[in-house]
């Protein structure tokens, strides 16, 4: 699996090159970044999945919308 395959599979994604010494807490920061960069509403229910590309020291966080809020 590579970043391109992940991006094709999911609606939204962000990735970060990670040093194992600073990996703790990275997913929370990436989640905030994914929501901010994609201008997602907090009303959306999102399903998140994390991928670790260990050979490249890359962590990828992907998300898909589970529902879209009713605009009425």
pLDDT at 70: 60
Asked whether the predicted pLDDT for residue 71 surpasses 90, the reply is no
Q: How confident is the model at residue 7 (pLDDT cuts 50, 70, 90)?
A: very high
The verdict on pTM exceeding 0.95 is no
CA distance linking residue 20 with residue 40, whole number of Å? 29
Asked whether the predicted pLDDT for residue 44 surpasses 90, the reply is no
Nearest-CA neighbor of 44 among 60, 28, 61, 63? 63
Residue with the larger pLDDT of the pair 62 and 70: 62
Share of the chain above pLDDT 70, in %: 92
DSSP 48: E
């Amino acid at each position: 699996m590579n970043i391109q395959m992940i991006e094709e599979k999911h609606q939204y994604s962000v990735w970060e090159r990670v040093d194992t010494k600073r990996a703790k807490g990275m997913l929370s920061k990436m989640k905030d970044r994914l929501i901010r960069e994609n201008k997602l509403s907090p009303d959306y229910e999102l399903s998140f999945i994390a991928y670790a590309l260990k050979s490249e020291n890359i962590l990828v966080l992907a998300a898909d919308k589970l529902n879209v809020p009713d605009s009425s």
